[in-house]
Every structure is written in C-alpha cells, then in structure tokens.
C-alpha cells in the first residue's frame, strides 16, 4: 500500500528526515515511536501533504502512485487520512457541514453519486454512537471549544465516516485520559480491515495496549534505528529511548 524509499526532508535547510525506508502492506498496523524531535510528526505531515517541507531525496509510492506529487486533497480522496495531533478549530463551520462536504468530494472524485441528506444523517449518527459522542457535536463548529479528548475523538469520527485506506494517527493518544483513550482505540479497532492500513505515530507505549501493532519502528534523529514486532514497544517502555542513542552512536 505504502512504500517509502530513502526519504530525506529538510525544514528551513535543516535535515529532519535522513533516509527513511518503510514498507506498509494492506491491513497492517505500524507504530512509529521515538523521542521528541525525532521527526515522527514530520513524517506524518509529509505523507498528508502539508506545506513547508522540502523533500530533498527519495520517493513515496502509495497504491502504485507517486504520493508526493499529489495535492493534499487528492491524497485525501485517494484514501490517505491524517488524524491531527492538534486538530484545527474552525469557528463558523459546523462539523456536519464539513463531514458532508468532505464525503461528497470523495464520492465525486470516484465518480459516485453524492450522498443525500437522509442517508448521510443515518451514517453519521451510527458513527457518532460508535465513538460515544453526543449528536449535538455534529451541529457545533469544528473543534471549537472542544476538550483535547473531544478533538481527538472528532478526528476518529471523521476517519470512520470517510473510510480512508491509509490512516495516519499523529500522536492521537497525547493528552487523552484512559477512558477517552479506550473510546478512541475502540473506534480505530472497529475500522481495522484487510484493505486498510494504519500508521500510528506515538510517544507513549500505552496506546499500543489497546491497538495492537503488527510492527513497531523506532525513529531517532531522522532515521529508523530499530524495527520489530509489538514486543519492541514493551522494551522501549521499560528502557526508554536512551539505549537506542547509545546503539546509534556505537
């Protein structure tokens, strides 16, 4: 599904990603862990098409296409979804308006008829229940005045409705209490399917107690320094990240 080859990225002439290689197959869950400033969020942003990054080398192929060549909205329509670490507040645009506009632009892109208001409401309400949200959220402005947990849940709600192929979760667990984390995890787990992949960028191992990854990669200083199975996360929990630095230096 996604193939990252020797990707190097600069921000303001400073190299942030120093040759990333990553293969993600359909249905897999990959966790990307690492200390602050390791480049985790940069990787998430690059995949979603955020401006302000210079790709200086390497390639990213998504479903056989050059991902880096696509505008952000085209990536989204092709099935790439980024759950933001800091979801943006958009006063004046209701959640439901955004959701319908988003879903219809995806349908239109794929030559499918737009969803009518009734079917759309039925779909949305089902997903709202899944994430144990209040229906009133739908009519509130996007993320405005939401708590940290509500914002993250709202991201997962959008993901559940838009049904992307490649879900990138950028520190979705940061700032969540355990109850909110469980709900978010339940939402993510309900979306697992053989043709959907997940990239979870996280600083904490705790998320992985609830969403079990197939692979764990440790990103440090712009490079993947170690890859392994779910057990690698436990090792990191125990030892922290400093032993990896020593290993990298050695």
Partner 1 sequence: MNAATASRYTAEYQTIAPALPGQTVPWLKRLRLEALEKFSAHGFPSLREEEWRYTNVSAIEKKLFSPVLGFVPHPKLRTVNTEWVKSHQLEDAWSMVLIDGHFSAELSVLDGLPETVSLMGMADALAKQPDQLENYLGQAVSHSEHSFIAFNTAWFTDGLFLHVPAGQVLSKPVQLLHVVTQADAMATTRTIIVVGEMAEANVIETFAGVDNSYLTAAVTEVFVGQNANLTLYKMQNEPEKAYHFGGTYVKQAKDARFTHHNFAFGGLLARSDIHTDLGHASECELNGLYLGVKRQHIDNHTRINHLKPHAISREIYKGVLDDRARGVFQGRVIVTEDAQKTDSQMSNRNLLLSNDAEADTKPQLEIYADDVKCGHGVTVGQLDEKSVFYLQSRSIDEETARNMLTFAFANEMVDKISIKSLHDKVLEQVLVRFPQEGIEKSWL
Q: Determine if 11 is a binding residue for partner 1 (CB under 8 A).
A: no
What is the Cα–Cα distance from 137 to 142, expressed in whole angstroms? 9
Do residues 217 and 224 make contact, with C-beta atoms less than 8 angstroms apart?
Answer: yes
Q: Pattern of binders to partner 1 over 96-135, x per CB under 8 A?
A: xxx-xxx-xxx--x----x--x------------------
Among 6, 54, 91, 190, binds partner 1 (CB under 8 A): 91
Q: Which residue has the tokens 């942030």?
A: 16
Q: Which residue has the tokens 């990138």?
A: 168
Q: Whole-number minimum distance, CB 170 to partner 1, in Å? A: 11
Q: Whole-number minimum distance, CB 137 to partner 1, in Å? A: 13
**Cβ closest to partner 1, residue 157 vs residue 185:** 157
Helix (H, G, I), strand (E, B) or coil at 101: helix
Helix (H, G, I), strand (E, B) or coil at 180: helix
Q: Pattern of binders to partner 1 over 135-174, x per CB under 8 A?
A: ----x-x----------------x---x------------
What sign does the CA torsion over 49, 53, 55, 59 have? negative
**Cβ closest to partner 1, residue 11 vs residue 141:** 141
Q: Determine if 84 is a binding residue for partner 1 (CB under 8 A).
A: yes
What is the Cα–Cα distance from 221 to 232, expressed in whole angstroms? 18
Burial 174-209 (b: 16+ CB within 10 A, else e): eebeeebbebbbbbbeebeeeebbbbbbbbbbebbb
Number of neighbouring beta carbons within 10 Å of residue 71: 9
Q: Pattern of binders to partner 1 over 32-61, x per CB under 8 A?
A: ----------------xxxx----------
Token pair in block for residue 67: 């991902």
**Cβ closest to partner 1, residue 114 vs residue 177:** 114
Number of neighbouring beta carbons within 10 Å of residue 31: 25
Q: Which stretch binds partner 1 (CB under 8 A): 20-28, 87-95, 145-153, 214-222?
A: 87-95
Q: How far, in Å, are 24, 42, 59, 95, 143 from residue 146 at the CA level?
A: 33, 25, 37, 12, 5
With contacts defined by CB under 8 A, how many residues of the chain interact with partner 1? 36
Q: Determine if 71 is a binding residue for partner 1 (CB under 8 A).
A: yes
Instruction: Name the residues that contact partner 1, by CB under 8 A.
Output: 48-51, 71-73, 75-77, 81-82, 84, 87-88, 90-94, 96-98, 100-102, 104-106, 109, 114, 117, 139, 141, 158, 162
């Amino acid at each position: 599904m996604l193939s990252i080859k020797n990707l190097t990225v600069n921000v303001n002439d400073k190299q942030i990603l120093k040759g990333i290689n990553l293969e993600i197959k359909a249905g897999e869950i990959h966790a990307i862990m690492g200390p602050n400033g390791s480049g985790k969020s940069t990787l998430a942003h690059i995949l979603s098409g955020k401006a302000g990054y210079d790709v200086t080398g390497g390639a990213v192929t998504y479903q056989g296409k050059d991902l880096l060549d696509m505008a952000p909205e085209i990536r989204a329509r092709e099935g790439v979804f980024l759950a933001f670490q800091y979801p943006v507040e958009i006063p004046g645009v209701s959640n439901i308006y955004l959701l319908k506009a988003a879903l219809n632009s995806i349908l239109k892109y794929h030559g499918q008829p737009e969803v009518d208001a009734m079917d759309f409401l039925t779909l949305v309400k089902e997903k709202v229940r899944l994430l144990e949200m209040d229906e009133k959220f739908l009519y509130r402005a996007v993320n405005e005045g939401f708590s940290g947990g509500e914002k993250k849940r709202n991201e997962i709600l959008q993901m559940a409705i838009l049904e992307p192929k490649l879900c990138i979760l950028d520190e979705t667990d940061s700032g969540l209490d355990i109850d909110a984390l469980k709900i978010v995890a339940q939402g993510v787990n309900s979306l697992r399917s053989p043709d959907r992949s997940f990239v979870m960028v996280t600083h904490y191992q705790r998320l992985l107690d609830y969403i079990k990854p197939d692979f764990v990669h440790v990103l440090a200083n712009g490079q993947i320094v170690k890859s392994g199975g779910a057990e690698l996360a436990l090792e990191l929990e125990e030892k922290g990240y400093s032993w990896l630095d020593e290993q990298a230096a050695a």
